[in-house]
């Protein structure tokens, strides 16, 4: 578990696992696997916040960065929003390269 706050995670294995122990097959579990949408950390948890977490979008494994996962899900962090606003103000009339 990471220390990012407020917590923002996506769930890849909801109340199940695919461990080597069961031959990588689906096995129901009290625990879910979540990935932090801020730092990319991952852990398994049975905490209630998985119920309100984002579902991992299809193909997320190929997109190896939290920023890209956020883009796939369509969420913008407050700090990113502020940065965009700043860039817009600074770039009046000019094109601001956004990356």
Q: Is 4 near Zn ion (CB under 5 A)?
A: yes
Ramachandran quadrant class, 59 (left: phi over 0; alpha: psi -120 to 50; beta: rest): left
The DSSP call for residue 46 is -
Q: How many residues line the site for Zn ion (CB under 5 A)?
A: 6
Strand pairing report for 9-13 and 54-55: parallel
Given 12, 15, 29, 41, the residue binding Zn ion (CB under 5 A)? 41
Q: Is 77 near Zn ion (CB under 5 A)?
A: no
Q: Is 39 near Zn ion (CB under 5 A)?
A: yes
Q: Is 8 near Zn ion (CB under 5 A)?
A: no
CA 51, 12, 33, 64 torsion-angle sign: negative
Contact segment (CB under 5 A) with Zn ion among 22-30, 38-46, 48-56, 70-78 equals 38-46
CA 5, 11, 15, 20 torsion-angle sign: negative
Residues that bind Zn ion (CB under 5 A): 2, 4, 36, 38-39, 41
């Amino acid at each position: 578990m990471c220390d990012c706050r407020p917590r923002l995670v996506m769930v890849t294995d909801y109340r199940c696992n695919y461990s080597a122990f069961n031959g990588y097959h689906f096995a129901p579990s009290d625990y879910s696997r979540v990935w932090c949408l801020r730092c990319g950390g991952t852990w398994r948890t049975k905490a209630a916040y998985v119920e309100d977490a984002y579902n991992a979008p299809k193909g997320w494994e190929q997109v190896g960065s939290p920023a890209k996962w956020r883009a796939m899900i369509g969420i913008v962090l407050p700090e990113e929003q502020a940065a965009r606003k700043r860039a817009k103000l600074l770039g009046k009339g000019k094109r601001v390269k956004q990356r």
